[in-house]
Amino acid sequence: MQAQGEAAPLRWGIAGAGAIARRFCRDVNQHASLGRVVAITARAQGRADEFAQELALPLAFGSYRALAQSPEVDAVYVAVIHPEHAALIKEMLLAGKHVLVEKPAVTRQEDWDELVALARQRNVLLLEAMKVMCFPAMRTLLARLPGLPGPLSLRAAFGSVQAPDGKLFDPALDGGASWDVGVYPLWLYAACCRQLGLDAGEPEVRLQRAPGEVDLSARFSFDGGIRAELGASIVEDLDKAACLAGDGWTLIIEGKWWNPQGVRLQGKKTFAGWPEDIVQPVDGGGMQHEADHFARCVQEGLLDSPWLPQALTRQVLGWVEGGLASASDERA
Ligand SMILES: NC(=O)c1ccc[n+]([C@@H]2O[C@H](COP(=O)([O-])OP(=O)(O)OC[C@H]3O[C@@H](n4cnc5c(N)ncnc54)[C@H](OP(=O)(O)O)[C@@H]3O)[C@@H](O)[C@H]2O)c1
């Protein structure tokens, strides 16, 4: 029961009954402290009913409009394929809902700017669901970053072999490595630069792409305050550990770096900026941390987030959009 003076839990509705929606729903309803998923929505009522039964949700809607109009939902987690994000976000914001949208938030920087302006106007919160930034181990790492001697370099990638007939290979569905997984290492880089007050600069982008097709792999190189080599692929398994290095030290974000639970100093050397290795495991898939952060921002009446700043979403969108428009292509 809710104690006196405690904020009511945020009531989540999910738009889209797909793969990631199930993970979010389980993580929130099993592990989150500040909210609960109460509603699922799919374009077909049958899919919504099936999802609601499987995950024991009280509400199942067969149209996104019904979700937008529900007085029993405070915030919407947009979990449809990314070309559908912009229109759906707009519909939810216009209905007065807070919105947490899966990555990539949208695929045009111009759309993001319009949606952020609309959210401000409606006095609701709009954030991109970049869950890695809300894991406790990542928050600890970023907090310690200013104490570590530079100059820094970063190596991070996200790549795995995907079924070649799926949505990720369809240019009409904004498929490709950069949009699907390139945004993760770009976010990590942008967040590190922001934490250190460094100018992130602009990347040199190289793509493996055939004419008229999606990018199968991408490399983003930065040569600014942090030197960074960032990779993405939908046709190749890439290193799952990320590596951050400076003068005489190397840190490894172990396991899958985008689900960070451990950060280790390589070698025996210790120094003041690194008191001990970070070991902060999460329950389940860890998506409860972004949900709780979002709920806390709503409780505090924030229209942006210190952990998932709208400006970082904008910066990353710009790098991918610009890279896809102007990169040098290598033979696919
Ligand atoms: N954070 C993460 O770890 C993570 C992981 C994977 C994906 N994602 C992101 O989450 C989003 C959804 O990914 P997913 O893998 O869950 O996708 P998915 O299962 O393929 O589809 C999600 C939903 O999108 C709608 N949809 C599918 N195909 C469509 C089409 N051709 N036209 C219109 N709508 C369509 C469907 O909604 P209905 O149910 O209403 O029919 C479907 O349930 C993407 O933006 C993706 O990048 C995030």
Q: How confident is the model at residue 225 (pLDDT cuts 50, 70, 90)?
A: confident
Cα 3 to ligand 1 centre (Å): 37
Per-residue confidence (pLDDT) for residue 150, from 0 to 100: 83
Q: What is the mean pLDDT of the chain?
A: 95
The stretch 211-219 carries a mean pLDDT of 95
pLDDT value of residue 331? 62
Pocket test for ligand 1, best of 81, 89, 111, 170 (most atoms within 8 A of CB): 81
Residue among 14, 20, 43 to mutate when testing ligand 1 (max atoms within 8 A of CB): 20
pLDDT per residue over 146-176, tens digit each?
989 888 999 999 999 999 988 999 999 999 9
Q: State both tokens at 202.
A: 């602009």
Taking the centre of ligand 1 as the mean of its atom positions, its distance from the CA of residue 75, in whole angstroms, is 18
Query: Structural domain boundaries of the chain?
Result: 10-131+288-303, 133-284+315-330
- Which amino acid does the sequence have at 49? D
Domain topology for 133-284+315-330: Dihydrodipicolinate Reductase; domain 2 (3.30.360)
Across the beta sheet with 10-15, what order do the strands follow?
A: 59-61, 35-41, 10-15, 75-78, 98-101, 126-128
What does the alpha-carbon distance between residue 306 and residue 304 come to, in Å, rounded to a whole number? 7
**pLDDT beyond 90 at 224:** no
Residue 81 pLDDT exceeds 70: yes
**Residue range 273-295, pLDDT digits in tens:** 788 999 999 999 999 999 999 99
Distance (Å, whole) CA 148 – CA 76: 38
Query: Does residue 86 surpass a pLDDT of 80?
Result: yes
Rounded CA-CA distance 30/288 in Å is 8
Q: Supply the pLDDT for residue 275.
A: 87
Residues with catalytic function: 103
Residue 2 pLDDT greater than 60, yes or no? no
CATH of domain 10-131+288-303: 3.40.50.720
SS (H, E, C) the chain: CCCCCCCCCEEEEEECCCHHHHHHHHHHHHHCCCEEEEEEECCCHHHHHHHHHHHCCCEEECCHHHHHHCCCCCEEEECCCHHHHHHHHHHHHHCCCEEEECCCCCCCHHHHHHHHHHHHHHCCCEEECCHHHHCHHHHHHHHHHHHCCCCEEEEEEEECCCCCCCHHHCHHHCCCHHHHHHHHHHHHHHHHHHHHCCCCCCCEEEEEECCCCCEEEEEEEEECCEEEEEEEECCCCCCCCEEEEECCEEEEECCCCCCCCEEEECCCCCECCECCCEECCCCCCCHHHHHHHHHHHHHCCCCCCCCCCHHHHHHHHHHHHHHHHHCEEECC
**Residue 44 pLDDT level (bands cut at 50, 70, 90):** very high
User: 227 pLDDT exceeds 60?
Assistant: yes
Give the residue whose CA is nearest to atom 15 of ligand 1: 19
Nearest Cα residue to atom 30 of ligand 1: 81
- Which of 68-72, 141-145, 149-153, 304-308 has the least mean pLDDT? 149-153
Judge whether 39 and 17 are in contact, CB under 8 Å.
no
Atom of ligand 1 nearest to the CA of 180: 47
pLDDT tens digits for range 14-28: 999 999 999 999 999
Quote the ligand 1 centre to 40 CA distance (angstroms): 13
Pairing of strands 59-61, 35-41: parallel
pLDDT, average across residues 186-195: 98
